[in-house]
């Protein structure tokens, strides 16, 4: 259903394959129609994922997948809108959009392929690289602390925040299904091994630490405590979920019908008269 003619050109063994397979399964199991799904993506190895899924795709600029997605959702709230990108894309170039997307609670799903490195530009540190991480451009190790996207998402007001692992397809697929069904801003930070450039955060590295949560926290404060864990144990699963009106639901105009389908009778004469 969601297969395309072309196949992905990621490095063999790349974590992106796990994300790709999880995503296709999730869409399938939710019985979604390809024409009703609109993907947006940024630039990076990650940003190519929608090319290889049979659905609508708008592959934009580095860091700008979210505003494109928000625009599509504003225009046609009947669509399922999913934004994809990498950790550099979303947490460096697009940080501003990320935070405001969360606080806006736009009904868009945001799946971040977090490989803790810049893949497509061949291995520079990313905002989620652990402190001391050695790359070609940081031979002595990075000197900045890693940012914690899950913590930021919760603190910024996202109503569904989860962490997944590309090496656990059944688990990730379920997270994606929940995110898609959720009403509001849903963020999944996905631990994604980059087998070519990140020799530290490997499948084994994540496997050893990934620790499945049973259920989400019921307050933001509790969720933030869980989100802070990053060490021997890294929690995966839904970390926070709450039921709030989405951005689109708060717009009175969109309650009537999607913007796309509105066809109001406009009284232009009145607009002219106001100026007299």
Ligand X SMILES: Cc1ncc(C[n+]2csc(CCOP(=O)(O)OP(=O)(O)O)c2C)c(N)n1
- Provide the binding-site residues for ligand SF4, judged by CB under 6 A: 10-11, 14, 16, 45, 115, 119, 194-197
48-107 residues in contact with ligand X (CB under 6 A) are: 62, 86-89
Q: Is the dihedral of CA 26, 28, 31, 33 positive or negative?
A: positive
- Sequence-ordered strand ranges (E) for 62-156: 80-86, 109-114, 117-118, 124-125
Q: How far is the CB of 142 from another protein (least distance, A)?
A: 26
Closest by alpha carbon to 197, among 112, 114, 111, 125? 125
218 binds another protein (CB under 8 A): no
d(CA 167, CA 193): 8
**Contact partner at residue 253 from ligand X, ligand SF4, another protein, none, CB < 5 to 8 Å by partner kind:** another protein
Between residues 102 and 227, which has the closer beta carbon with respect to another protein?
102
d(CA 45, CA 67): 20
Q: How far is the CB of 152 from ligand X (least distance, A)?
A: 16
Q: How far is the CB of 121 from ligand SF4 (least distance, A)?
A: 9
**Contact partner at residue 126 from ligand X, another protein, ligand SF4, none, CB < 5 to 8 Å by partner kind:** ligand X
In which residue are the tokens 């900045």 written?
A: 144
Contact pattern for ligand X over residues 108 through 127, marking x by CB under 6 A = -----x-x--xxxx----x-
Contacts of 51 (CB under 8 A, 6+ apart): 4, 6, 8, 57, 59
């Amino acid at each position: 259903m969601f297969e395309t003619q072309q196949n992905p050109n990621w490095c063999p063994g790349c974590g992106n394959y796990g994300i790709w397979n999880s995503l296709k399964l999730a869409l399938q199991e939710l019985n979604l129609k390809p024409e009703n799904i609109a993907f947006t993506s940024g630039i990076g190895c990650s940003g190519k994922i929608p090319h290889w899924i049979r659905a609508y795709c708008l592959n934009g600029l580095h860091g700008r997948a979210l505003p494109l997605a928000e625009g599509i959702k504003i225009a046609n709230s009947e669509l399922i809108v999913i934004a994809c990108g990498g950790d550099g894309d979303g947490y460096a170039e697009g940080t501003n959009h990320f935070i405001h997307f969360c606080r806006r609670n736009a009904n868009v799903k945001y799946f971040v392929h977090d490989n803790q490195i810049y893949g497509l530009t061949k291995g520079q540190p990313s905002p989620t690289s652990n402190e001391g991480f050695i790359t070609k451009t940081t031979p002595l190790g990075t000197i900045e602390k890693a940012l914690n996207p899950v913590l930021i998402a919760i603190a910024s007001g996202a109503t569904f925040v989860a962490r997944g692992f590309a090496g656990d397809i059944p688990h990730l697929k379920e997270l994606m299904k929940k995110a898609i069904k959720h009403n509001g801003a849903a963020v999944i930070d996905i631990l994604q091994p980059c087998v070519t450039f990140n020799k530290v955060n490997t499948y084994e590295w994540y496997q050893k630490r990934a620790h499945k949560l049973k259920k989400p926290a019921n307050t933001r404060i509790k969720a933030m405590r869980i989100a802070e864990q990053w060490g021997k144990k890294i929690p995966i699963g839904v970390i926070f979920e709450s039921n709030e009106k989405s951005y689109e639901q708060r717009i009175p105009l969109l309650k009537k019908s999607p913007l796309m389908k509105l066809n109001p009778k406009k009284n232009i004469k009145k607009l002219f008269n106001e100026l007299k």
